[in-house]
Structure 1
């Protein structure tokens, strides 16, 4: 809705970036939006969604070569925005596929890994997942207990990973494990004996997304499965930074959708003889929501331009993730209230977005961790421990 781009932020996009945004928005609204409430209610997402997104060209779209589109980081952000405008689960699928699993293989894998996996992943014919988090190692990934030990010319991995998006759908899992050489990454085909994935149910948020526990029980891999040139947390953290960047764009779409729906609803719904939108308190809420959505859009655009200039820092990504998710949650909660009782149903999107954003606020770095990253940058004093 053009009028909600109050500061004309999209006018600052290139024609190619605007065209990508229109294409993704049209596809998301025609092919995904009509079905997403059903997926959310059922707690699932069909595997053919990935193939459709692959044909659309958004899987790993910001990577170069191997069937990837090689777009600008800003164009990738715009695509994330339009997908999350429908549901955070859709953007999460694209983030995990492209910015975690594919990026890890593209940046840290071998040429054999890249040629084996990336073309199929870009097409949506193979799904990836990213195994870093454990039940006792979330914000402190360095405390992970999953281990990989050498046995002759092989590696043997034991451990478990938790809260893994796409886990039961995945054909390849990027697994990070403790070794005698430090934390290392591995490209693990999920068909390998000893690997299993178990879907996590009873979720109240991000339900149009598959979340799993991964179990690795004496998973034996050849030396070639290991990422050769990276040791320590730098490897997984570079991947997380990519995913966080997509999030800070994506939540702008969720917030915009909530604003759109609350504006349309309050213009139509009448009480005391006039539309709800005619009351002062309603207009104040709409104004505050518009400011929040547009400010978040400007943050995303600015950080996108910094990333395209290779000048974006991890703490700036923390700023964007923290600020934009916080703004989107405020907008979603306000919109839910403006729709009254209707706002709690799946006939409308606002509570679905609100519930999803509760998860988005937690994953890829909690609010507390991003706050401490900014605090560290300001003071020079690390307060993580």
Structure 2
């Protein structure tokens, strides 16, 4: 752990910075890139930052500009960033040193994954790692079935593992120069990637809650009810995917999806409704999308994934509370409810603060980029 003078939030941030810098150094090694003279230090820094923060933005083509060693380093950074550096490091300590977790560790894990300090860290860590590796392994196997038809077995296996991890960790890195456009009609690839993104974006606490829902029962034999958090996450996720699949199908019907079979249009629309919030894969040419479609994509990017997940954004729960707040203003009611439950004032205050901070940072960032990119 870092010195006690650092707060929990500072320790999390500094851990990410340290891993990013280490990743930058490793990616800058001659053995990490196909053509070392073309991959500059700033490119390595950008790639490492994007991988650890599971953003998916790239300035160099991952599949051609980096060697197998470089791709493996990027995959490792994605995995560490997706799991959470503190989760990863503490799991290693527990697994190989038998270290007992103290209350500070509990706080660190709860801060980075949105759990409660009283949750047993060892149990939580084991669940997170098991859930992650299980999803990625099944996803890699399914992807291999499709990739092996077009690539040699060894390369197909690497493609499957890389894309499975990138999808579950909501990173969006691809070894294909056109992302998944070449597989937009492949049902197995599309649904596997979509499901991995959703599972990674739901959050580890939701997974734990769902697991207990199916494996544990009340003393009277009835199933326990899902927590309010899980119900909000699931309801919001399903609603967003359902609504915006239809929206994108309508907006791009005569544009990027013109001439495609109905199955391909539905698969492309489904992926468009899922990837902007978390991952970044694409099965249609993003540069050819209409302006209104791009605006909708930006809106979904802002929402992001769910608390305690591998994705970013203001989170689905924050968005749900903001919608409930706006709906209460429309009805002119003082009581703000979500799924039949009143929202406490402190939660509302945090939600509004997060939304305002996101809007402010976005506006300032756009202004800075406009100045820097001006001719």
Structure that is richer in strand per residue? 1
The verdict on a shared fold, with TM-score over 0.5 as the criterion, is no
What is the TM-score when the length of structure 1 is the normalising length?
0.28
Between Structure 1 and Structure 2, the one with more helix by share is 2
